[in-house]
Structure 1
Amino acid sequence: MRRRETQVLDGGEVGAPDSAPMISFDHVGKRFFKKGKPFQALGDAHFDVRPGEFVSIVGPSGCGKSTLLNITAGLMKPSSGAVRYQGKPVAAVNTNVGYVTQADTLLPWRTVRQNVAIPLEIRHHPRAERAGLVDEMIEKVGLADFGGHYPAELSGGMRKRVILARTLIYRPETLLMDEPFGALDAQLKLVMQQELLRLWSDAGTTILFVTHDLAEAVTLSDRVVVVSSRPGTMRTIKTIDIPRPRDVFDVRFHDRFRELQQELWAILQDDMLEGGEM
């Protein structure tokens, strides 16, 4: 087991030498071309994500947050630096991760059960075991009575639960989540945050979570990575030192919650005032 590199950010040590990282971003940059002209979306991402950790990334629109997830998933390659997953460079599609995007990716012609079963079918999981695994996962996300329903018959929150069930059923080591609850109303978002924390706690999954919502980042995370406006570079990593387990409905009344949210905003506000959007 190699010693983790120690970074000193936010006045504290990030990356203790107790275990090898699940994900390592080694000075990762990404350049795109638009009408033949290059523009740097991501400048320099350099941090580790520990096994079982919940890390959120916040920053202005266009700073490379989603790009980091796409590179980790092996859907694109960095222009500079490297992403390593369990010590190995990500050079192709990373089948060890599950990816939950903003978009509703359910197949409308398939029922809840049939949608959740898709990863098992792709992986040629024994047919005799599929039904039991699907029903177990549907029950875990609170949809036991809706297995025969189609996506059009479900609410937005229910569809998000189906997407979570479909992603978790093949037990990925890591979840990449790109603003998965951004389109939900405030009350439903809280419900889904609580559900995600419960599932994460049960499974011990590593989560890398992109959000524009500072309250969401503080509620869910062990650490929050703050990225500057484009080209995105790391401003700091903030440790969320609120005890777990957390109840998303009560944690916002915690004094430390308000302090952390204000500290994150103080770091981000210059980029926001210059015209960036979260």
Structure 2
Amino acid sequence: MKTRSFDVLLTAISPVIWGSTYIVTTQFVPNFAPMTVSMLRALPAGLLLLLIVRQLPQGIWWLRSFILGALNIAFFLSMLFVAAHRLPGGVAATVLAVQPLIVVFMAFILLASPIRSLSILAAVIGIAGVALLVLTAHATLDPLGIVAGLAGAVSMACGTVLSRKWQPPVSLLAFTAWQLTAGGLLLVPAVLLVDPAIPLPTAGNLFGLVWLGLIGAALTYAIWFRGIARLEAAVVSPLLFLSPVTAVLLGWIFLGQRLSALQIAGFALVIGSIWLGQRAGGKTSPTKQPQTAEAKAGA
């Protein structure tokens, strides 16, 4: 039980740090296009980890690395920024918050994990909490933005479940390096076709990019994939609710943004949903799946 609690707390670090993305991006790299920031966040971090581990994918893991890199990073971030561009931030965050609910059903389809009513209840409460945290009375809806947000949520939900299903025969750092590099490479064409030229970075820009890349990508994805390997997907995914909570708290602490009574209620609902999500996962921590013959052959 103590090991499981440690795994949950350690995994929770990732969404907490991801919650700093908004304030770091707006305060330190506001002159960089969103897709460019995403590419510079993923690709250098992935290449750095590759230099450390000095291990490339073999066999089927080339394809799997690019599939996971697309789902967890490239496609997810692309849809995220489409949703953020076409929807108010609160609406986009609420739409993306359906991901833990999608994970419950994807885990049933791909991993034969049972669908627990408590997991569904936890996800619904978490979505309601995020809505109270970030929605405003004047929020407007755009159909394309809604579709993009849902597509992004489905993308990372699939990536989360497949990362659990496809446990690689290599170290966690190598697995993280493969996905970040693949996702960053997939973003390069989008940056070249859509975004303007990369501006000459200032000292503030460099700090922001280093934070987003080394801390917000290399470190956090390694921790996140470790959690996925050790915990059920339905236990890990509710932790993502911590990202909007962190974003709101950082805005309150550093930007002087006010917290309303509804936002405080939303905060309480999110914490309650995470607690329910952990109870829904049971008291035992699934161990790492054994390597299949296919995975060993790929190694």
TM-score (norm 2): 0.24
Higher percent of residues as helix: 2
* Higher RCO (C-alpha 8 Å, min separation 6): 2
TM-score (norm 1): 0.26
